[in-house]
Amino acid sequence: MTAFAFDLLATDKNARRGRVTTAHGTFETPCFMATATAATVKAMTVDMVKATGAELAICNTYHLMLRPTPERVAELGGLHKFMNWQGPILTDSGGFQVMSLSGLCKMNEDGAIFQSHVDGSRHELTPERSMDIQRLLDSNITMCLDECTKNGASHEEAATSMRRSMRWAERCRKAFVRREGYGQFGIVQGSVYADLREESIKALTELDFEGFGIGGLAIGEGQEMMFNVLDFTIPHVQADKPRYMMGCGTPSDIVGSVQRGIDMFDCVMPTRSGRTGKGFIKRGSLNIRNARHARDPRPLDESCTCPTCQNYSRAYLHHLFRCEEILGAMLLTQHNLHYYQNLMKELRGAIEAGTLDDYVADFHENQALGDVAAVG
């Protein structure tokens, strides 16, 4: 058996280059997870996902508890077998979606009572039930159930919310079934308040989790505030455990967060954008639905080595989106995931080489260029 471990391989100022080991293999950090909400990366086969370079997948407790249910997944051999993903899997706690997606959610000290957004049925999610679900799913990294304090909360609201999350973290740690090669992350809350973030980290450190989620960010506070919070939060987090910035973010958010010492990221942006027509490129982004691409024989990004850019023109992708062909979503998602994974690979390389500042300067210079001019 393999112990759950985090190895710090190199640093460049506050940025870290590491490796996480799980019962289902390793992943290199900083990493960007493949978003597989309902046990599938939308519009992608597993082979296509692997080819982008993704090593860690994230699945969603809220979606899977409703359909097909964690008991069903367990009966079928767990998530790895169910979705044919042999690599490591992280699951979120379900808390964020219970509060944002479900109908009529009531929170109290025990947990949350909510209605399914699918069929209106009534469900309960407590710290203990969330741990049980994630165990049934056979997730390699279990996230604690917490309350994502909403953006704009007062110090008093944020303190009350964070302290409940810390009481839940204690219940989660108690309910977590320890298994070789499996880990559990506590989640730092405290909104934009330095004293609360510090208090939260102290509580989680005492519970000795295998890693830290940074919660309550990338929810509308803006990049400047987000980076400020990281600046006063991260120095208090112990260095020998991985740090996961939940739900973040744009390429620029990720670059800045890596500079501040974040190791793990997840975001629906590359997959969701891939289905709606937004493509990420070295020079920023583009909307493939725009008529300027209709006769453009060039790939999305001349510098990109993904199968979409190697084989298809902007004109073809534009045609697929105009005709609402599924292949359009497949090819653009493939490109976007490749873009994100390539960004992570380059960030890892720059940290190893000790040249992260130069890399980041180049990154912003390229992004500022904007898309190439349309064909004549």
Q: Residue 80 contacts by C-beta under 8 Å, 6 or more apart in sequence?
A: 24, 86, 89, 138
Chosen residue from 10, 239, 326, 374 binding a copy of itself by CB under 8 A: 326
The footprint of a copy of itself on residues 76-115 (CB under 8 A) is 76-77, 82-84
Q: How far apart are CA 107 and CA 102, in angstroms?
A: 12
Grouping H, G, I as helix, E, B as strand and the rest as coil, residue 349 is: helix
Q: Minimum distance between the CB of residue 50 and a copy of itself, rounded to whole angstroms?
A: 12
163 binds a copy of itself per the rule CB under 8 A: no
First to last CA, the chain: 61
Q: How far apart are CA 145 and CA 93, in angstroms?
A: 5
Q: Which tokens is 255 given?
A: 């670059």
133 binds a copy of itself per the rule CB under 8 A: no
What are the start-end ranges of the E strands in 171-290?
Answer: 183-188, 211-214, 243-245, 264-265, 278-281, 284-287
38 binds a copy of itself per the rule CB under 8 A: yes
Determine contact, residues 286/297, Cβ cutoff 8 Å: no
Identify whether 371 is a catalytic site residue: no
Chosen residue from 7, 75, 157, 365 binding a copy of itself by CB under 8 A: 75
The catalytic residue among 12, 146, 263, 266 is 266
Nearest CB to a copy of itself, comparing residues 77 and 220: 77
Number of chain positions touching a copy of itself (CB under 8 A):
40
Determine contact, residues 48/88, Cβ cutoff 8 Å: no
**Stretch near a copy of itself under the rule CB under 8 A, chosen from 125-133, 158-166, 309-317, 355-363:** 309-317
Q: Minimum distance between the CB of residue 37 and a copy of itself, rounded to whole angstroms?
A: 9
Chain residues binding a copy of itself by CB under 8 A are: 38-46, 48, 63, 67-68, 72, 75-77, 82-84, 294-295, 297, 307, 311-313, 315-316, 318-320, 322-323, 325-327, 329-331
